[in-house]
Amino acid sequence: MKSSQRLAKEYSKIQKSDNEFNISIDSNNILNWKAILKGPDETPFKNGNFEISIKCTDQYPMKPPKVFFNTPIFHPNIHFKTGEVCLDVLKANWSPAWDIFAICRAISLLLSHPEPDSPLNCDAGNMLRAKDEMAYFSMGEMYTQMFAIKENSDKK
Partner 1 sequence: MEFKEKGNEFFRSNQFEQAINFYTFGLNSHPDQNLREVLYLNRALSQIKILEYDKSLSDCEAVLQFNHSSIKAHYFRGLALSGKKQYKNALESLKTSLRLSEKEKATWIQELKGKIDEVELLLFQENENQEKNYLEKTKNNLFQYLDELIRLRNQNSKNVLDIQDKMSELQIFFEKIQPKRPEIPSYFCCPISLDIMNDPVVGNSGVSYEKNAIFNYIDSGGNQDPITRIPINKDQFHPNICLRQAIEEFLEKNPWAKKRNETIIEQND
Catalytic positions: 86
Q: Report the distance separating Cα 140 and Cα 96, nearest Å.
A: 33
- Residue 15 within binding range of partner 1, rule CB under 8 A: no
| Interface pick for partner 1 out of 5, 17, 112, 138 (rule CB under 8 A) | 5
Contacts (CB under 8 A) with partner 1, residues 90-119: 95-97, 99
Q: Report the distance separating Cα 33 and Cα 53, nearest Å.
A: 6
- Residue 57 within binding range of partner 1, rule CB under 8 A: no
Asked if residues 85 and 68 have their Cβ atoms less than 8 Å apart, the reply is yes
Residue type, 25: I
- Residue 14 within binding range of partner 1, rule CB under 8 A: no
- Of the pair 5, 145, the CB lying nearest partner 1 is at 5
Q: Report the distance separating Cα 102 and Cα 70, nearest Å.
A: 19
Alpha-helical (H) ranges within the chain are 3-16, 100-112, 122-129, 133-143, 150-155
- Residue 62 within binding range of partner 1, rule CB under 8 A: yes
What's the min distance (Å) between Cβ of 35 and partner 1? 19
| Interface pick for partner 1 out of 19, 47, 57, 63 (rule CB under 8 A) | 63
- Of the pair 29, 96, the CB lying nearest partner 1 is at 96
Asked if residues 37 and 52 have their Cβ atoms less than 8 Å apart, the reply is yes
The three-state secondary structure class of 104 is helix
Interacting residues toward partner 1 by CB under 8 A: 1, 5-6, 9-10, 13, 59, 61-63, 95-97, 99
